[in-house]
Amino acid sequence: MYECIFQKGACAAIFALVSLQMVAQATTEYVLGEAVKVERRKDALLQSSVPSFGLDTLQLRRTAATDLSAALRHVAGINVRDYGGAGGLKTVSVRGIGAAHTTVCYDGLPMASTQSGAVDIGKFAYEQIKAIRLDIGDVAPLLAPVKTLSAATLFVNTQNSKVKDSFTANLQTGHWELVNPSIAFSKNLNRSLSFGGNARYYFRNNNYSFHIDNGSLSEKARRNNSSIRNAVGELWMNNRLGAAHELRSKFYYAYNNNELPGAVVLYNNVNHEAVKDALWFLQSAYDGRWKRTHLSAAVKMQGQSTVYTDDDPQYPPHALRQRYRQHEFYATAGAEHRLSEAWTVAYAADYFYNHLSTHIATADGVSRNTLMQALSLRYKQKRWTATARMVAHQVWNKVPRQHSEALQQAAQGMHKWQSSVSAVYRKDEYGLAFRAFYKDYYRQPTFSENYFYHLGTAQLKPERTRQVGGGITWQENVGNIALKATVDAYYNDISDRITSVPYNLFVWRTENRGKVTITGLDATLHANCRMNAQHLFIVAANYSLQKAEDITSPADNNYGKQPAYLPQHSGAVSITWENPWVNLNVGFTAASERWSTHNHAPQTRLSGYAEINASLLRNFPCGKGVLTTGLFLNNALDKSYEVIRRYPMPLRNVMFKVGWGF
């Protein structure tokens, strides 16, 4: 009943949207201001010595995505693990290495992930994101927090480099009782001081329908126990201390109250789990430049409290309650100095203190001190750029004496040296370029992997990853068409791989899998075609090939097989038509078959999937500002599929967005 009413309402909204744009044809200057510009700027990311991919505000809008995980599928090499679509856990794995190797930076500083190892990107407010960038193997800047020098780093930025007086208010609604209002503002008090903030509320009951098959048997059901409620608030302040010095501060708070739908089993779609968590952080970062010297420093305090419950009748009332509280203090500082026109050197140091408290005796009171130091050297001339880094990674774990001997052994810590080298050769200033890199990286097991009762393993070894890659980038303007293309090949060697297998949406089982190799290829193509002053066609496509093999032991049933949930083929295509009427975006994402276990039993095979999303966008003048409208169609072909086994994705659904701002 509700879906029927909503679909009729969506049709009416489309009709109204088209009618409005016909009335407003005379005011074409209000069609996405950027649409009247020809994109002929050269992409600096293509000149990087390591694979680096980015999407700015306009490009994010052109993907027809409604959340960050959907937008990231349009970045080559990324595998987003999505546990059930709207409201489900979403983690990012790059080139098959694993989500715990991807550092997620929010407005310049890394998010804490010591407890579980992976950051849930589904909790970020997509409408506040101004740009994202993925660096693989290294980061493009020579001076950067040492934590960002991981196997892959995802940068999520919510602020533009230049602050303007602004105010925006948005409302999103759609299937499954979606209610998502948000506001944001920024203000320049004077030439040196600016501040702003944003707030967001999100509710969705997520009782979407799905199909589940088991041989000749099939069932159509609805998700239950899957509603989500969260609220996010941010306040920030920027202080420009002269022409080349700046101090940025931010306070962030998020509260989540989510029901966990659990894995779907044929004829059994009942679950009683839920999780409540509150996350906050306060960070402040300084950046200053002199003639030859660049200094940076930052501090961050982050806290997270989590309560997991399961009210299944098999347990006594209120019996299964798990409470966790994690705190992190983080500090980073560094300096970069240009020795000559060609040579630049940088040194940076990061310090972390992490502490986990819980009522579970085996994990209560564990803490970790981490010191990371990096020495970097870069040589740059007109055609060549080469970068070399050496990182000292030291970890000291501390476990209270009352814990078992096995846990005491797990507290021995880690003392490792890591290195990387990368180079790029530019045939001309902006056109053809050749790049290559090598990186050696260690990852310490997380608190969850080491200490969680029945889930952690005290004897886990650090995971070592060696990355080798090389590629070609090209960009050129041919008449009224701007073209960009990249092709990168790589080889990853992972020893003592720490593999996480989900027990449910909240907890995991972990083990060392010995040795895994991954051979892959990433390719991207981006074309802008300016037909005339008012019509622009954009096509963006990416393809990834990942051939991974578990080569731990020939006697093992897993030998030579693709690791769990890693597709061999994946890709995405985005097509945009910007015009004086309604801007149209169509996005297509696809992945080949996967397996939910390492041994590839027939019943664990997951079929490949393809999904088409589309959006209609239109802006109108309204008072002193602009009224923005958008209609989003997700899973247009109404396909039933799973990214993670027994966590079905939503079928066709619609979302409508309206906003006003200046």
| Structure tokens that stand for 111 in this block | 């998010």
Which string of DSSP letters, residue by residue, matches 496-518?
Answer: S-EEEEESSSS-EEEEE--EEEE
Confidence of residue 249 (pLDDT cuts 50, 70, 90): very high
3-class SS of residue 36: helix
Residue 59 is predicted with a pLDDT of: 85
Residues whose CB falls within 8 Å of the CB of residue 340, separated by 6 or more in sequence, listed in order: none
Instruction: For residue range 521-552, list pLDDT tens digits in order.
Output: 999 999 999 988 899 999 999 999 999 988 88
With 70 as the cut, is the pLDDT of residue 86 above it?
Answer: no
Average pLDDT, the chain: 84
Residue 56 is predicted with a pLDDT of: 87
Q: Are 614 and 70 in contact (CB under 8 A)?
A: no
pTM greater than 0.85: yes
Confidence of residue 265 (pLDDT cuts 50, 70, 90): low
Q: Are 142 and 336 in contact (CB under 8 A)?
A: yes
Query: Distance between CA atoms of 382 and 341, rounded to whole angstroms?
Result: 11
Confidence of residue 74 (pLDDT cuts 50, 70, 90): confident
Residue 484 is predicted with a pLDDT of: 93
Confidence of residue 27 (pLDDT cuts 50, 70, 90): very low
How confident is the model over 18-45, as a mean pLDDT? 45
Residue 91 is predicted with a pLDDT of: 83
Burial annotation 493-527 (CB, 10 A radius, 16+ → b, else e): ebbbbbbbebebbbbbebebbbbbbbebbbbbbbe
Question: What's the full length of the chain, in residues?
Answer: 662
Instruction: For residue range 408-453, list pLDDT tens digits in order.
Output: 666 678 899 999 999 999 988 778 999 999 999 998 888 877 777 6
With 60 as the cut, is the pLDDT of residue 488 above it?
Answer: yes
Instruction: For residue range 553-586, list pLDDT tens digits in order.
Output: 888 877 888 888 889 999 999 999 999 999 999 9
Q: Are 250 and 283 in contact (CB under 8 A)?
A: yes
Confidence of residue 17 (pLDDT cuts 50, 70, 90): very low
| Structure tokens that stand for 478 in this block | 């041919």
Whichever domain contains 198, its CATH number is: 2.40.170.20
- What is the separation, in whole angstroms, between the first and last Cα of the chain? 38
How confident is the model over 351-360, as a mean pLDDT? 89
3-class SS of residue 271: coil
Query: Distance between CA atoms of 190 and 380, rounded to whole angstroms?
Result: 38
Residue 304 is predicted with a pLDDT of: 92
How far, rounded to the nearest angstrom, does the alpha carbon of residue 163 sit from its chain's CA centroid?
25
Instruction: For residue range 114-144, list pLDDT tens digits in order.
Output: 777 778 887 888 888 999 999 999 998 999 9
DSSP 191: S
Confidence of residue 7 (pLDDT cuts 50, 70, 90): very low
With 50 as the cut, is the pLDDT of residue 14 above it?
Answer: no
Q: What percent of the chain has pLDDT over 70?
A: 86
In 3D, which of 327, 459, 331, 447 has the Cα closest to residue 398?
447
535: containing domain: 2-661
| Structure tokens that stand for 127 in this block | 């409408």
Confidence of residue 72 (pLDDT cuts 50, 70, 90): confident
| Structure tokens that stand for 188 in this block | 């320049």
In 3D, which of 278, 246, 256 has the Cα closest to residue 88?
256
With 70 as the cut, is the pLDDT of residue 24 above it?
Answer: no
Range from 21-25, 276-280, 445-449, 609-613 carrying the lowest mean pLDDT: 21-25
Query: Distance between CA atoms of 288 and 283, rounded to whole angstroms?
Result: 17
Instruction: For residue range 207-234, list pLDDT tens digits in order.
Output: 887 777 665 666 677 777 788 899 999 9
In 3D, which of 271, 282, 365, 280 has the Cα closest to residue 324?
365
- Extended strands (E) in 32-126: 52-55, 78-82, 90-94, 102-106, 109-110
Confidence of residue 26 (pLDDT cuts 50, 70, 90): very low
| Number of folded domains that form the chain | 1
Residue whose pair of structure tokens reads 């909204």 in the numeric block: 13
How far, rounded to the nearest angstrom, does the alpha carbon of residue 216 sit from its chain's CA centroid?
38
Q: Are 498 and 512 in contact (CB under 8 A)?
A: yes
